[in-house]
């Protein structure tokens, strides 16, 4: 089995406006997709979404924020999500990681824009530079910069 890339991670947002502002205006990601429930007006195979489409067609169902071409953060507003599919019911995201070319420059940019920083830049045991930050809902994410010795680049299995 071979995968090409990670397509998206999903976040359920408690404060939609604050989260959209964060991902668009602070991290600088482009909102590439926004789907409203009206997309489900003619979808009898999705009855819970269709019911919302009939009563609140302009309600946002989800959005995709593009990190790089083909890789996204998918976000759902936490407004009475339908529970007709199992993944709407579960908690799961621990964190995600973004790679950059200049970690220290990115760290300074985060400080200037008021992004909540959780840790100072440091090099982990994997020889990769990293620091931690959080979005307005408290979802933690890592920012990393590979080095020539990064385990993620050269491989490493402890024996």
Residue 58, pLDDT score: 92
Residue 85, pLDDT score: 52
Residue 80, pLDDT score: 66
Q: What is the distance between the alpha carbons of residues 15 and 96, in angstroms, rounded to a whole number?
A: 19
Q: Which residue's structure tokens are 């593009």?
A: 66
Instruction: Please check the confidence at residue 22 and state whether its pLDDT lies above 90.
Output: yes
Q: Which residue's structure tokens are 């819970």?
A: 48
Residue 133, pLDDT score: 93
Within 13 Å, how many C-alpha atoms sit on residue 116's CB side? 12
pLDDT in tens, 92-140: 566 788 989 999 999 999 999 999 999 999 987 788 899 999 999 888 8
Q: What is the distance between the alpha carbons of residues 149 and 23, in angstroms, rounded to a whole number?
A: 31
Residue 6, pLDDT score: 77
**DSSP assignment of 42-63:** T-TTSHHHHHHHHH-TTSEEEE
The pTM of this model reads: 0.74
Instruction: Please check the confidence at residue 90 and state whether its pLDDT lies above 60.
Output: no
- Tokens found for residue 134: 């959080």
Q: What is the distance between the alpha carbons of residues 105 and 18, in angstroms, rounded to a whole number?
A: 24
Instruction: Please check the confidence at residue 27 and state whether its pLDDT lies above 80.
Output: yes
Minimal CA–CA distance to 84: which of 125, 33, 41, 48? 48
- Tokens found for residue 8: 């998206």
By percentage, how much of the chain surpasses pLDDT 90? Answer: 39
Average pLDDT, the chain: 85
Alpha-helix residue ranges (DSSP H) falling in 70-159: 103-113, 151-154
Residue 91, pLDDT score: 47
Better-predicted residue by pLDDT, 80 or 75: 75
């Amino acid at each position: 089995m071979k995968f090409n890339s990670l397509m998206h991670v999903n976040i359920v947002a408690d404060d939609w406006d604050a989260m959209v502002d964060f991902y668009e205006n602070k991290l600088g990601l482009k909102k590439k997709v926004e789907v409203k429930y009206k997309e489900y007006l003619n979808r009898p195979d999705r009855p819970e979404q269709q019911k919302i489409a009939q009563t609140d067609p302009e309600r946002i169902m989800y959005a995709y924020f593009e990190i790089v071409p083909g890789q996204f953060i998918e976000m759902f507003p936490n407004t009475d999500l339908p529970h007709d599919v199992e993944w709407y019911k579960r908690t799961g995201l621990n964190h995600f990681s973004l790679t950059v070319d200049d970690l220290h420059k990115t760290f300074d940019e985060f400080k200037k824009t008021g992004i909540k920083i959780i840790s100072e830049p440091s090099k982990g045991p994997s020889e990769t530079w990293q620091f931690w930050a959080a979005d307005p809902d408290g979802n933690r994410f890592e920012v990393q910069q590979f080095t020539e010795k990064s385990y993620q680049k050269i491989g490493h299995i402890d024996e």
